[in-house]
Amino acid sequence: MKRAKTTIDILMVVALLLLMAYSLVGECAHEVIGIGMFVLFLAHHVVNRKWWTNLFKGKYRPARVLNTAVNILLAVAMVLQPVSGVLLSKHVFKEVMVDGAAGTLRTIHMLVPYWSFILMGFHLGLHIRMVSGNLRKRFGAKPKTAIVVFSILVSGYGVYAFIKRGIGDYLLMKVGFAFFDTQESTALFLLDYAAVMALIAGIGYFIQNGLMKLQKRKGGK
């Protein structure tokens, strides 16, 4: 089951990165990948269904409140994306007709993916502690210095890529259309977005870490 969960999560990250490269992968491929992403999303929630059944159980400390809020917002975004995508489809679901709502749907379908991207990165960051713990058990302790240096370099590049790609403008809807350089290497585009996701994951990890340390201090008093 753990291997299935890991495989699904990795495929979801890869699919989301490819979906962000809309024009570079092509409209038809974008729609097909979007369908695959939604199937992976459903599979993810099936294998993690215990999270939903435990939603109203136990205490809600700050770290859990943050994790729950991110998960629910991400789930909502992951539903809005395919719904708006199907209604705007020009290939796979082109028979589906929408009258008078195309403008609103395009706005949703452009805004929601960028926030999904940020939430996905944050979601990954909230699980770094668990993943790193499992890796330590399996492979033993690794040199911390090398990991820290690598993380700093990736995060630094992530800041550069975030600014370079104008992701903040998309999140705040300062631009109405996604702009792509069709001559650009798809690999470079994906590298930039992967670095931004790593940056957001790092931010999520440190926020969660801070909340957990704060909780321990309160518990110790």
pLDDT of res. 160: 97
pLDDT at residue number 113: 92
The predicted structure's pLDDT at residue 79: 94
* Predicted pLDDT at 67: 94
Residue pLDDT, tens place only, 104-134: 888 888 899 999 999 999 999 998 876 655 5
76 three-class SS: helix
pLDDT band per the 50, 70, 90 thresholds, residue 5: confident
CB 123 within 8 A of CB 70: yes
What integer best gives the mean pLDDT of the chain? 87
Determine the angle formed by the axes of helices 186-220 and 102-125, rounding to 10 degrees.
60
Instruction: Average the pLDDT over each of 160-169, 189-198, 208-217 and give the range with the smallest value.
Output: 208-217
Checking if the pLDDT of 33 tops 70, the result is: yes
Q: For the packed helices 62-88 and 27-47, what is the interaxial angle rounded to 10 degrees?
A: 140
The pLDDT tens digits for 179-210 are 788 788 999 999 999 999 999 999 999 999 89
Report how far Cα 83 is from the mean position of its chain's Cα atoms: 18
Indicate if the pLDDT at residue 138 is higher than 80. Answer: no
Helices (H), the chain: 2-20, 22-25, 27-47, 49-53, 62-88, 102-125, 128-139, 144-164, 167-171, 186-220
Is the separation of the CB atoms in 81 and 12 below 8 Å?
no
Q: What are phi and psi of 93, to 5 degrees?
A: -120, 40
- Amino acid symbol at 63: A
Residue pLDDT, tens place only, 51-100: 999 999 999 998 899 999 999 999 999 999 999 999 888 888 888 867 66
Where does residue 178 fall: left (phi above 0), alpha (psi -120 to 50 degrees), or beta otherwise? beta
| C-alpha triplet 90, 40, 30: angle, nearest 5° | 25
